[in-house]
Amino acid sequence: MLVKFLLDQTFGALVNNLMFLAYMGYMNAPQSGKVGAWGAVETEVRTKLYSLFIDGAKVWPLFSLASFLWIPVEKRIVAGCAVGVLWGIYLSLIV
């Protein structure tokens, strides 16, 4: 279980953040110009990936620990979704 947790909080978080930033960089890129869509993706990833990874490391491990310790099994999905909604709001504000 510890291995799954560590893989989720490192590799899984990195892949999810990378995909999110790449998608948002592509969608927010200007349609024309010097930089182009892939240049915008590169800039978005380079400037925000590390800070987003660190911010996620402040939230998700603590929530996972609290979830395992204090939230009943039948309510963990709802709690995770609630924290996910708050995380989505945070992501929409920083990007």
- CA-based torsion, 29, 92, 18, 15: positive or negative: negative
Residue-wise pLDDT for 21-69, tens only, equals: 999 988 888 776 666 788 888 989 999 999 999 999 999 999 998 998 9
At residue 34, the pLDDT reads: 60
In the predicted structure, residue 70 carries a pLDDT above the cut 90: yes
Residue 28: other Cβ atoms inside 10 A: 12
For 33, the token pair is 């110009």
In the predicted structure, residue 5 carries a pLDDT above the cut 90: no
Is the pTM for the entire model greater than 0.85? no
> What does the alpha-carbon distance between residue 24 and residue 40 come to, in Å, rounded to a whole number?
9
> What does the alpha-carbon distance between residue 88 and residue 26 come to, in Å, rounded to a whole number?
18
> What does the alpha-carbon distance between residue 72 and residue 32 come to, in Å, rounded to a whole number?
51
